[in-house]
Amino acid sequence: MSMFNWAVVDPGPGQPVGPQQRLPWGKTIGVGAQHVVAMFGATFVFPLVMGLDPNLAILFSGICTILFLLVTTNRVPSYLGTSASFVAGVAAIRAQGGDSADVTGAILISGLVLLAVGVLVHFAGSGLIHTVLPPAVTGAVVMLIGFNLAPVVAGLYWPEDQWVALLTATFMVCAAVLLPGFWARIAVLLSLVFGYLISWIFDGVFGQINSVISGASEATDHDRIWNWGAVGSSDWIGLPSGTLSDGVDVVHGPSFSLTFILLVLPGVIALIAENTGHVKAVAEMTGDDLDPYMGRALGADGFATALASAFGGSPTTTYAENIGVMGATKVYSTAAYYVAGAVAILLGLCPKFGAIVNATPGGVLGGITVVLYGMIGLVGAKIWVENRVDFGNPVNLVGLAAGLIAGIGGVTLKITDDFSLSGIALGTILVIVYYHLVNRGSRGGTETGAHEVTRAL
């Protein structure tokens, strides 16, 4: 039977609709539209902060979502939005003089590594992941990825307009926690609209602001919404085009550097943790055994990331926002995700939409990212809590400590005159090596020296 033959059902409110079922097309389109709104904010915010094109990211999110559904044979309902796991690595690449082609080249290799992991897991079983990357390790890597981004907010976006940033961050915190149900899940999108509105009001009431615009080297007087003119001159329909802020074409081929590749490879660990967690969450919702599809899901995300990066697009990952929509609606139909993917492709083919996104004021991005980056870091702590990682065990406490400080603090290990490891790359290596060096099963918690360190702390 074709995997596109969904059984048509129309149950009452609160009754589940399975992945192999669908509502009548009118209702399916409505649910698909909800998925687009849910993924929308984060999917184009992260390309902006990575210096890539949000229109291209939206376009490839639709293409890659459909690809993911095909690879998993419609068994794992998920949306592939832009991944935040590489943001810190990208910031490090740009800090070392790399351009957008270097960024997408490094991410492309990471996507291929994730694809290889997916193939390995498909044949060896999902237990392999937990052996090499137990929750203690994945939590630490995700944490250092998030907290390593703090200087990006402090040095780039927040100073452009600190008051708009503060108001936007305050609104986002309140919206994400205090708004009911679905509205809380689109807090990023609502915060973007709020920040735009505040910036427009401040431009009218207080006039121009003097600050350094992202990509500039000196402070100038400018409107908060300083590049709105591009919106009027953009076409309604067309392929993503133009140049990025560093002069690289929006659609471009990647370039490769081992140094830059090592800076973003830790993001693969975060993607493995995200995908694994999301597949298990979907399995719990639907009641299906999705372990046989774990390798397919990882491989599909890896291939999707490599495909998008090959054309200058952003890396992808399965989105918790859309899993939240399924939890609220109890509609797990993969048909709705095909609709969402199609709508995203149409949005990606609207240059005027991309111009609106690119006009987002820096202060608004500062407010949104100060919350999002902190949330990424705390997801690492969430992994620890949910998996009951015991920090009374010195294997976890001491084994992870050095890697966290090295990664978050930007410690550098110089290998040769032309090659060094630093930040997230070094931190990830230390976390994995030190953890497995001292983890000896039941013996890991009985090493005398380790216990002495724990007691001293």
Could you report the per-residue pLDDT of 338-351, keeping only the tens digit for each?
Answer: 999 999 999 889 88
Nearest-angstrom CA–CA distance, 329 and 282: 13
- Residue 204 contacts by C-beta under 8 Å, 6 or more apart in sequence? none
Nearest-angstrom CA–CA distance, 92 and 262: 11
Q: Residue with structure tokens 């600190």?
A: 162
Residue type, 152: V
Tokens describing residue 61: 């999110």
Q: For residue 447, what pLDDT is reported?
A: 40
Q: For residue 215, what pLDDT is reported?
A: 59
Q: For residue 27, what pLDDT is reported?
A: 87
What DSSP character marks residue 228?
T
Could you report the per-residue pLDDT of 397-433, keeping only the tens digit for each?
Answer: 998 999 899 888 878 888 776 666 777 778 888 888 9
pLDDT confidence tier of residue 448, bands split at 50, 70 and 90:
very low
Query: Residue 203: which of 185, 183, 227 has the closest Cα?
Result: 227
| Alpha-carbon separation of residue 239 from 65, 296, 316, 347, 351 (angstroms) | 19, 30, 20, 10, 7
Beta-bridge partners for 82:
316
Give the end-to-end CA distance of the chain in Å, rounded to a whole number: 62
Asked if the model's pLDDT at residue 42 lies above 80, the reply is no
pTM assigned to the model: 0.77
Residue type, 20: Q
Asked if the model's pLDDT at residue 457 lies above 60, the reply is no
Average pLDDT, integer, range 215-243:
79
Could you report the per-residue pLDDT of 178-203, keeping only the tens digit for each?
Answer: 988 667 767 777 888 899 899 999 99
The answer to whether 428 and 269 have CB atoms below 8 angstroms apart is yes
The answer to whether 312 and 100 have CB atoms below 8 angstroms apart is yes
CA torsion through residues 44, 327, 277, 153, sign: positive
Asked if the model's pLDDT at residue 176 lies above 90, the reply is no
The answer to whether 143 and 81 have CB atoms below 8 angstroms apart is no
Tokens describing residue 261: 């590749």
Could you report the per-residue pLDDT of 260-300, keeping only the tens digit for each?
Answer: 998 898 889 888 878 887 888 788 788 888 889 999 999 99
Average pLDDT, integer, range 62-75:
95
Could you report the per-residue pLDDT of 344-370, keeping only the tens digit for each?
Answer: 999 889 888 777 777 778 888 888 888
Average pLDDT, integer, range 22-48:
83
The answer to whether 19 and 286 have CB atoms below 8 angstroms apart is yes
Q: How many CB atoms lie within 10 A of CB 194?
A: 21
% of the chain beyond a pLDDT of 70: 93
Query: Regarding predicted confidence, which is higher, 60 or 409?
Result: 60
Tokens describing residue 158: 């927040």
